[in-house]
Structure 1
């Protein structure tokens, strides 16, 4: 994993180089990322609890999947790759915007990301990879917001940040966007 390369970017998401994954997080360098939010037809969002063995944020709840495109890989292709690797399925993804944030994910690591946000619709059962995902659940956004307010320490720092910063992107409308895109 320490030799996995990430795309370093400027504040406008223009590539400025490559960095090794661990070093990039230790130094808090701005890099390209993606976050995937998968809904079922009932409008529930698929959350995952990260495997405890992950190099940071193990055991915390987060969005369906997230990660970093590899050099030469588009963000949407990276998002679909990680969705398969983490949750065991693939589906069409729609872009819904992007946000930039910088959050500490451990005493020594920082996620400083230009994050591309994608949504998708899936009605099957995930086949989560136990090396990546400890458990998963479908929840309505209102329930997630209540849990974030009551027990923020059980969620990954970037998920909290995305949910706070994406209010201008109206995540409550994402499910309707998905339904209208397939009709």
Structure 2
């Protein structure tokens, strides 16, 4: 599936699917509320893969953020969506996936006025093989950072708004390998595990 044909799942206020729309055409100053996810990849030594979005991205180009993010395709479960994006965006294979912030949602406006408005469950992925192969159309740079470095990034303007919001909720949970499994009950009705 190319970025030009990718569809997003539109949501109502109860987080139920109400339709689909083309991904690229839907992101603008009045972006509809839709389904997404964020993933933090954690190495065996506890470091986290932090990425910088490609400079060619339509929304929030060049900002530093978590390991990967994306949009579940219509009918695609969260687990499959995360595994798909880890493979295509970073060339990584997850050993485990754990929902850590299943209820996360946010709204943020980019400098150019583009709105992001997403129900965006957050997942931790663990990997044994830490050799990332970033897809240049998606990722400008990818680096393994300590948790302390990740926390420091949340205080800097070059980080994505959703990263800052997520870190505010993740920091109280402790180090990434200690984040508890939040279960799947908090996922939106529109999204299966």
Is the TM value for this pair above 0.5? yes
- Given candidates 166, 171, 177, the residue that maps to 1:162 is 166
- Given candidates 95, 99, 105, the residue that maps to 2:99 is 95
Unmatched runs of 5 consecutive residues or more in structure 1? 179-183
Contact kept? 2:27, 2:59, Cα under 8 Å: no
- Could you report, residue by residue, the CA deviation over 1:48-86 in whole angstroms, capped at 9, with x for unpaired residues? 111111112222111000010011111221111111111
After TM superposition, list the pairs within 5 Å mapping 1:74-93 onto structure 2: 74-91=77-94, 92-93=96-97
* TM-score, scaled to structure 1: 0.85
- Given candidates 149, 157, 160, the residue that maps to 1:143 is 149
- Given candidates 127, 133, 138, the residue that maps to 1:127 is 133
After TM superposition, list the pairs within 5 Å mapping 1:168-179 onto structure 2: 170=173, 172-177=174-179
Q: Residue 27 of structure 2: SS of its match in structure 1?
A: helix
Q: How many residue pairs align between the two structures? A: 174
Residue range with higher mean Cα deviation, 12-21 or 44-53: 12-21
- Could you report, residue by residue, the CA deviation over 1:86-141 in whole angstroms, capped at 9, with x for unpaired residues? 10012131111221110113423111111111111113211111221121111122
Give how far 1:157 is off: 1.9
Give how far 1:166 is off: 4.1
- Could you report, residue by residue, the CA deviation over 1:2-50 in whole angstroms, capped at 9, with x for unpaired residues? 5421001123321111122134322221111110001111111110111
Contact kept? 1:105, 1:156, Cα under 8 Å: no
Taking the aligned partners of 1:23 and 1:32, their CA distance within structure 2 comes to: 15
Change (3 A) 1:154 1:177: closer
- Given candidates 22, 29, 34, the residue that maps to 2:32 is 29
Structure 2 residue 21 is matched with structure 1 residue 19 = yes
Residue range with higher mean Cα deviation, 60-69 or 152-161: 152-161
Tell me what 1:63 maps to: 66
Structure 2 residue 47 is matched with structure 1 residue 44 = yes
Two-structure CA RMSD over aligned residues (Å): 1.9
- Given candidates 107, 128, 132, the residue that maps to 2:112 is 107
Which structure has the highest helix share of the two?
A: 1
Give how far 1:167 is off: 4.6
